[in-house]
Amino acid sequence: MPRPPEPEELRARGRWPPPPGPRVAIVGSRRPSPYGEAVAERLAADLAAAGAGVVSGLALGVDAAAHEGALAAGGCTIAVLGTGVDVIYPRANADLAARILVSGGALVSQFADGTPPQRTNFPRRNWTIAALSDVVVVVEAAEGSGALITAEAALSLDREVMAVPGSVFSPLSVGCHQLLRDGAGLVQNARDVLALLGARQEVLDDPLRPPASLGVEAPRAGRDPLLKHLSDALPVEPGQLARKLEVPLPEIMARLTALELAGQVGRRGAGFVRLAPGGISGAGVG
Amino acid sequence: MPAAPEAFGVATRVRSVLLRGLDVLPIDVEVDIATGQPGFFMVGLAGGSVREARERVRSAVRNSDLPWPPQRARMTVNLAPAEARKDSGGLDLAIAVAICLGQAGAEGPADAAFLGELSLDGGVRHVDGVLVAARGLARRATRRLFVPAGDAAEAALVPGLEVVGCRTLREVTDHLLEGLPLPAHEGGASEVEETPTADDLSEVHGQGAARRALEIAAAGGHHLLMTGPPGSGKTMLARCLPGILPPLTRDEAIDLAQVRSVLGELEPGRPLSSRRPFRAPHHTISMAGLVGGGSGLARPGEVSRAHHGVLFLDELAEFDPGSLQALRQPLEEGRVSITRSGGSVSYPARFMLVGATNPCPCGWEGDAVKACRCTPAAVDAYQRALSGPLLDRIDLQVRVSRAPLEALSEEPTGESSSVVRERVATARLRQLARQGHLNAGLTRAELRRLTRIRPEARRALERWSSARGLTARGFQRAWRVARTIADLQGSEEILEEHVLEALGYRVADAAAA
């Protein structure tokens, strides 16, 4: 979209202006895969722990995960709203918005108080997200996703654009891969972003921080071997598993449900995906 | 040709019948030919098609070379009981017979009834609902039934009734007045015909979970909802369902033939078919079309055409919410009662409901390849529109996906319908032996009393219930489905694996979590 007119003023709730330091926008799909959600949360936590402010749009999915990650790491996070600063949309994130304020973050908006959600306002809001940030990281974005507008805005505004790769099978990573092909920086972990921001060497070399804290998980004992055949981005259907493993479908279905009951897998369409193990707590970011 | 008798004053009574849904109202047709102001009068709340019978009957009698009362006679035809409105061409034959007998001074046969419409040349024409009429009359001490020749096979399905097929009016009067033979119909065509179904499960590519869900649904008589993107084969899967159900029993086939008889949709000469009906009305169907309706007396709708079979509603979310609400009664009671100006009728409607829906307005939510363009709020609203009372009665839900292209080029490897049908039939026999009906009809009390569940299986149900906020109804649905899975496996006890698998077919509860 063409560059919208600059907002006349920003209205804010919470701590404004924000504390000095670099700010990173983390944006992406409103319905990410468990993988995308985990990446957004972990990335935000690590960046916040390193002292960066995390900017996002308070939407469902990647946005919410980014805010949550920053809050969990005790960091500062800024939610840029597409509604009036006194209107929380979607309602499901009302609690998250309250916690952002309590933790010393801010809600900001370029729209007048009381502005309800309107389709045309969100793309303009995306430009503001880019304007407030030094780097925009796109976590998961399908073709035509709003997150790509934020990336485009970042380029127009001379901000850095980075993207997180995903499965080549996943429609949710098509936008990210396009960005990477067009020259966006590759993000595998928070260090990649921090390096671009010119963080001090000691932050990057922090021995307490695992070098690649994303996407690596310790194997757990006592797991159903079925988990080996599931991915965390690409849903696998019970029928496919039954055929591949030559196990009767009823048994596959029962075992998948047991795993679902244990919180280790989730449904996505007709298939199942592996869920990231228990949030970000204890991930060495405290 | 016999001359018209001069001795007027004999009232002749001939019996016919009027349909009231699947019930009948016997009608007495009385004819009085007397002197007086000349004319031909029809009394007894005759509707349009009966008033027109005057003209048809007059022509038919004359063109059959039968005498018509002289110009100076005053003829009154009375249709009793007088308070019931009559609107059916099926009374023609009885009226004509009564007139002819009346002129000959003969009594109407006491234990016989006449049903048929007349053509102007004296032929006897098809009428709808002969099977229903025959059943009702047999219960009311009628022993002989005269029906149009083409409908004789249909009437002959009713035991204890002598059915006479008539081609012309002349045949009937010659028989009654002159004693010429008119042979009773031989009940030859009353056998249930085996018809193979067109769609076979062996033609379905992949779809492991959906196939299994179909099998469970067929075995326990559970209603089923399939959710998946366009082109994922939901319709094909649904069409396979009749083929894995056991064929209709003779009683079931007659039940269904009655509905078809009322609608005039029976195949002439082969009234009984063992094939389970499969009805797939379009989502623009009116409520009257779906559950039954129309002016005067309601006619059966799609739910009754699907009696003992499958009612497939594609694009469930697109159906008029009022129509879907109207499905509640048949889903609960297996019948529909409809009241219209002409009275109240009740039709059987015990069907398996198979619904299909897209997961979201654009259809691609959850697809592995194509991205969904709907907002989360729109997806939510779409799925919520389906929830509520209807979804509450659907025990099984399954997500289907498009088969990957490489699978489409392979030969399908799944079992054929006949293999699955064997297992379904065995599981059904177990249920009938245990509780006299299918598992879908298990009440809460029956579940507790009749179906043993292992402690760890019950714990799994309870764990799911507390983690996912399963309602009491959802709990019972999962229990019923687990019972059917156990029956398919030949287990009298419900094991943990049965419960876990059953919970795998509860998409809505999972999504609500």
Residues B100, B94: Cα–Cα separation, whole Å: 10
B377 close to A (CB below 8 A): yes
Average per-residue pLDDT for chain B = 85
- The alpha carbon of residue A260 is apart from the nearest alpha carbon of chain B, in Å, by 9
Whether residues A271 and B206 touch (CB distance < 8 A) is answered with no
Partner-chain contact A253 B206, CB within 8 Å:
no
Q: Is the pLDDT of residue A18 over 60?
A: yes
Cβ contacts of B467 on chain A, cutoff 8 Å:
261
Helix H, strand E, coil C: the string for A212-257 is CCCCCCCCCCCCCHHHHHCCCCCCECHHHHHHHHCCCHHHHHHHHH
**B3 has a pLDDT exceeding 50:** no
Looking at residue B148, what is its pLDDT?
Answer: 93
Of all residues in chain A, the percent with pLDDT exceeding 90 is 48
How far is it, in rounded angstroms, from Cα A252 to Cα A240? Answer: 10
Query: Is the pLDDT confidence value at B6 over 60?
Result: no
Chain A interface mutation, best of B204, B212, B400, B461, highest count of A Cβ atoms under 10 Å: B212
Residue A84, classed as helix, strand or coil, is: coil
* Residue contact A254–B501, C-beta within 8 A: yes
pLDDT tier for residue B411 given thresholds of 50, 70 and 90? low
Pick from A166-175, A237-246, B43-52, B332-341: least confident: B43-52
Q: Which of A61, A169, A261 sits opposite B368 (nearest CB)?
A: A169
A238 touching chain B per CB within 8 A: yes
pLDDT band at B22 (very low <50, low <70, confident <90, very high): confident
Express as a percent the part of chain B with pLDDT over 70.
Answer: 91
pTM beyond 0.80, yes or no: no
Chain A positions touching B460 (Cβ under 8 A) are 258, 261
Give the residue among A115, A50, A49, A47 at the shortest CA–CA distance from A81.
A115
Question: Which pLDDT belongs to residue A201?
Answer: 54
Question: Which among B367, B463, B496 has CB closest to A269?
Answer: B367
Cβ contact B209–A30 (<8 Å): no
pLDDT tens readout for residues B64-87 = 999 888 888 888 999 988 887 787
The Cα of B410 is separated from the nearest Cα of chain A by a number of Å equal to: 14
Q: Which residues in chain B have Cβ-Cβ distances shorter than 8 Å to A240?
A: 206, 208
- Check: CB of residue A24 under 8 Å from CB of residue A102: no
First to last CA, chain A: 40
Strand partners, A265: A274
Residues on chain B touching A271 (C-beta within 8 angstroms): 366, 368, 399, 401
Going by C-alpha positions, the residue among A69, A116, A118, A73 that lies closest to residue A96 is: A69
Q: Tokens standing for B199? A: 């769609």
Q: Which residues of A touch B211 (CB under 8 A)?
A: 239, 249
Is A247's Cβ below 8 Å from some Cβ in B? no
CA pair distance A83, A86, nearest whole angstrom: 8
ipTM, two decimals, is 0.77
The partner residue sitting opposite A254, judged by closest CB among B359, B464, B500, is B500
Please check the confidence at residue A209 and state whether its pLDDT lies above 60: no
The gap from C-alpha A229 to its chain's centroid, in whole angstroms, comes to 25
Q: Flag if A261 and B228 touch (Cβ within 8 Å).
A: no
